[in-house]
Amino acid sequence: MPIRHLLLAATALSLVPAAHAQEDRLEALERRLAEQQARIDQLEAMVAKQSRMLEQAPVTAPPSPPDVAASVPASPPVPGAAPAPAQLADATPQADGAFRIPGLDVSGDVRVRQEWNFVPGRDRSRSAVRARLRASYAIDDHFSVGTQIATGDPDDPNSTDVTLGSFVDDFAVSLDQAWVRYRNGGFTAYAGKFPQVFQRTDMLWDGDVSPQGAALAYGADLGGAKLDARGIYFVIDEAAVARDSDMLGGQLALAAPLASDFKAGITGSYYHYRLGSVAGADAGDFRGNLLSGGRYLSDFHLVEGIGTLGWAGPSPRWPVSFTADYVKNLGAAVSGDTAFNLELAAGRTAEPGDWRLSYNYSEVEVDSVLAAFSHDNIDLSTNYRLHGVGLSHVPARNLQLDLLWYHYRPLDPLYAGSFASSEWLDRIRLALMLSF
């Protein structure tokens, strides 16, 4: 056989294994492609299923923060929700695509309000805005920390409103609360600058006042009835040389059902103010009380009683309540030492479509309450007689409309100041508040 034939035969035999190897590689690639396609089909099916589930799941709005204390509503109400206790949140994706951090609770509100004042010879209207943002974080099952920032004058403890004007100057924003809380069963303790812990009406405590110092609270269930005890050490003004100003206060509340659709409550409180230093006070802190030599004329040792009656009403949307609040200042230097407020209300503001109507009547003598922390709903912080009417509506979740009318005049002509004691004054407020 010629040599060239031998070479050709050897070359052909050497190509046979290479061809078989190439076919094996092609078959392996085809198997891998088939496996990848199967995985892609499986993932697409899972994505389609999750999309259908998200489309069918109801989208729920975040809940509005509940009050730390079960405050007795004052009429007309001034919204002042306190920060909610921290809840352990779910860290899984929500229907809206947001993630929640376990232990962190963030909430807030924005209110826009128009006000009309009708005073003989000096009618006035103004627009005001309030914005608050609060957050709390549960460190563990017992300890939490919280804070709140708010608009308004940081030197005014009972108002976070900002009047629109001043050639579009920016709003002042300040740290309104910063606190540490310990909770164990029915026991709660606060330290720092914290939400109001007492059951209250605006006659004595404005809803924007955040006490500072330390507070304790304990609640117990007595087989249908509920007993609530609260105490506070309230730091008011610290002084380097004079005696500090502070307050020791306590409250005991009992609530019990009278029948299947009736309930009643009674609350007793005592607030003992020791006003040594007033260096940190300004005109807004002294406002309605009597002064002598740049200091308060009276001491303030306040005894308060609040009674409530509640009826379930003709339907869940229309509960009926009656509240009576009485205060006497045992340290007053004048006879003007008592105050009371009566309120009748029907309805609620819990769900979209709800309505609430309220009427209240108040008489507050000149040194019956400490004006620095009482309400600022009208020009007179003390020494007034007041009729108040409120109408509230919830057109949508987390949205509330309030229409308030205050009809008032000075109570005692001796302390009327620049106000004519015989003239009735009127203030109307229309407010829209969105909370989240």
* Mean pLDDT over the full length of the chain: 85
What predicted TM-score, i.e. pTM, was given to this entire model? 0.77
d(CA 109, CA 430) in angstroms, rounded, equals 16
Q: Are residues 298 and 378 in the same domain?
A: yes
- Give the residue-averaged pLDDT of 291-307: 95
* Same-domain check for residues 114 and 203: yes
Residue 409 belongs to some domain of the structure: yes
Per the domain annotation, does 121 fall within a domain?
yes
| Domain interval for residue 368 | 104-435
- Residues 71-81: b if buried by 16+ CB within 10 A, e if exposed: bbbbbbbbbbb
Residue 324 has pLDDT above 50, yes or no: yes
Residue ending a domain, choose from 57, 76, 96: 57
> Is residue 212 located within the same domain as residue 292?
yes
Contact yes or no for 348/317 (Cβ under 8 A): yes
Residue 85 CA, chain-centre distance (Å), reads 11
Residue range 142-168, pLDDT digits in tens: 999 999 999 998 888 889 999 999 898
The reply to whether 340 falls in a domain is yes
Coil vs helix vs strand at 338: strand
For the residues 92-120, what does the mean pLDDT come to? Answer: 83
Q: What is the pLDDT of residue 88?
A: 37
| Together in a domain, 205 and 262 | yes
Q: Is residue 275 part of a domain?
A: yes
User: d(Cα 135, Cα 92) in Å, to the nearest integer?
Assistant: 20
Q: Which residues contact 59 (CB under 8 A, 6 or more apart)?
A: 95, 96
* 39 lies in the same domain as 137: no
81 inside domain:
no
Residue 66 lies in a domain: no
Question: Do 180 and 270 belong to one domain?
Answer: yes
pLDDT at 25 over 90: no
Instruction: Dump pLDDT digits (tens) for 360-380.
Output: 999 999 999 999 999 999 999
What CA–CA distance (Å, rounded) separates 19 from 26? 11
- In a shared domain, residues 245 and 137: yes
Domain containing residue 315: CATH number = 2.40.160.10
pLDDT at 286: 83
| Shared domain check, 317 and 184 | yes
Give the chain's domain count.
2
What are the tens digits of pLDDT across the range 54-94? 555 444 444 433 343 445 544 444 333 333 333 333 444 55
What tens digit of pLDDT does each residue of 178-222 get?
999 999 999 999 999 999 999 999 999 999 999 999 999 999 999
The reported pLDDT for the residue numbered 120 is 80
239 part of a folded domain = yes
Q: In degrees, to the nearest 5, what angle opens at C-alpha 76 toward C-alphas 354 and 132?
A: 80
In which band, very low, low, confident or very high, does the pLDDT at 390 lie, cut at 50, 70 and 90? very high
262 and 362 belong to one structural domain: yes
Query: Is the same domain home to 3 and 130?
Result: no
Report the C-alpha gap between 118 and 358 in whole angstroms: 22
| Whether residue 365 is found in the same domain as residue 287 | yes
> What is the reported pLDDT for 30?
67
**62 in a structural domain:** no
The more confidently predicted of residues 133 and 99 is 133
> Same domain, yes or no, for 120 and 47?
no
